[in-house]
């Protein structure tokens, strides 16, 4: 964690447009912030062009995301490239990435406005989708990219290469390339290991491998992976749960550490991650409504 004493004076409140509680809580929070001479800017879409331009220009000091983990994932794509810190307030069903619960912001707000917090940096991934050597699209993600079968229930053939050398071949439903943060998301659901969030390693986890390499692999820091698709039927990729993108035979998905880390405001000591992990693994979560 990096200690930081900056006092935020211009704050974005990013609410989930489909969660009425998120919108309601953002207005309650705004009232208190404004009473403390803080400029408040409301947002509900992280892709709004005006908002993106303003964030990139350095206009804001902080973004507070009110929702669940899905809201935090979206916020990271907006904030990380600009180095804008984030504070997550859990108003959704699952808040593994958030720092405080719905009403908890009242307790930590005096510390925030006094600069009494730390910044935690987490690695993000830069994803490139290539076809015949041409980049079709790129993404920055906090959790993972998944390359997998489409609607047809047939496995896909995938080859993972690191630094030009073949690492493993898979016949599987798919392959996850994850950050340490993402190790507690989809990767954990398919029996991948849990990695401490401060690491800068890429985790590869196959999904339902069929008579092929079936172990998770933790790549060394700085490694880049090339996932080549070999299929005669539908296959897709999805970056942090965004709408799937069709991939065809011969397509490549390049995965490497982003140059832009996500920066989270933390008030707790470093052991918070393990306490949170224990809290959520000892209960059965409900179906997540914040996607």
Q: Residues 54, 34: one domain?
A: yes
Kindly state whether residue 289 falls inside one of the protein's structural domains.
Answer: no
Question: Structural domain of residue 197, as residue ranges?
Answer: 125-257
99 Cβ contact partners less than 8 Å away, ≥ 6 residues apart: 87, 88, 89, 108, 264, 265, 266, 267, 268
Q: Residues 131, 81: one domain?
A: no
Kindly state whether residue 267 falls inside one of the protein's structural domains.
Answer: yes
Kindly state whether residue 181 falls inside one of the protein's structural domains.
Answer: yes
Q: Residues 211, 274: one domain?
A: no
Q: Residues 45, 13: one domain?
A: yes
Q: Residues 106, 160: one domain?
A: no
The answer to whether the beta carbons of residues 266 and 119 sit under 8 Å apart is yes
Q: Residues 242, 131: one domain?
A: yes
- Point out which residues pair with 41 in neighbouring strands: 12
Kindly state whether residue 13 falls inside one of the protein's structural domains.
Answer: yes
Kindly state whether residue 25 falls inside one of the protein's structural domains.
Answer: yes
CATH number at residue 26: 3.40.50.10330
CATH number at residue 155: 2.60.200.30
Q: Which residues are catalytic?
A: 69
The answer to whether the beta carbons of residues 187 and 179 sit under 8 Å apart is no
Per-residue pLDDT of the chain (291 residues; tens, 9 = 90+): 555 468 999 999 999 888 889 999 999 999 999 999 999 999 999 889 999 999 999 999 999 999 999 999 999 999 999 999 999 999 977 778 999 988 899 999 999 999 999 999 999 999 999 999 999 999 999 999 999 999 888 999 999 999 989 999 999 999 999 999 999 999 999 999 999 999 999 999 999 999 889 999 999 999 999 999 999 889 999 999 999 999 999 999 999 999 999 999 999 887 777 777 777 666 655 544 454
Q: How many domains does the chain have?
A: 2
Closest CA to 226 of 208, 251, 199, 206: 251
Q: Residues 78, 117: one domain?
A: yes
Kindly state whether residue 34 falls inside one of the protein's structural domains.
Answer: yes
The answer to whether the beta carbons of residues 179 and 144 sit under 8 Å apart is yes
Kindly state whether residue 186 falls inside one of the protein's structural domains.
Answer: yes
């Amino acid at each position: 964690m990096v200690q930081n004493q900056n006092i935020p004076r211009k704050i974005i409140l990013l609410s989930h447009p489909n969660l009425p509680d998120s919108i309601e809580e953002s207005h309650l929070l705004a009232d208190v912030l404004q009473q403390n001479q803080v400029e408040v800017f409301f947002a509900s879409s992280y892709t709004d062009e005006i908002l993106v331009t303003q964030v990139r220009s350095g206009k804001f000091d902080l973004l507070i995301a009110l929702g669940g983990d899905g809201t935090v994932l979206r916020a990271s794509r907006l904030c990380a490239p600009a180095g804008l810190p984030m504070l997550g307030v859990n108003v959704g069903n699952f808040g593994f990435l958030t720092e405080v619960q719905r009403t908890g912001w009242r307790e930590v707000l005096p510390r925030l406005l006094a600069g009494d917090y730390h910044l935690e940096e987490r690695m993000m991934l830069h994803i490139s989708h290539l076809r015949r050597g041409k980049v079709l699209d790129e993404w920055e993600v906090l959790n993972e990219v998944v390359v997998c079968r489409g609607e047809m229930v047939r496995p896909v053939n995938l080859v993972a290469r690191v630094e030009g050398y073949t690492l493993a071949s898979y016949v599987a439903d798919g392959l996850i390339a994850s950050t340490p943060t993402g190790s507690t998301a989809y990767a954990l659901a398919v029996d991948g290991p849990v990695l401490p969030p401060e690491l800068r390693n890429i985790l590869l986890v196959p999904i339902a491998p069929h008579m092929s390499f079936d172990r998770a692999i933790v790549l060394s820091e700085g490694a880049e992976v090339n996932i080549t698709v070999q299929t005669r039927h539908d296959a897709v990729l999805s970056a942090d749960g965004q709408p799937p993108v069709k991939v065809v035979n011969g397509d490549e998905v390049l995965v490497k550490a982003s140059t832009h880390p996500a920066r989270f405001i933390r008030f707790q000591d470093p052991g918070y991650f393990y306490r949170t992990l224990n809290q959520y693994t000892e209960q059965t979560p409900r179906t997540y409504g914040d996607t």
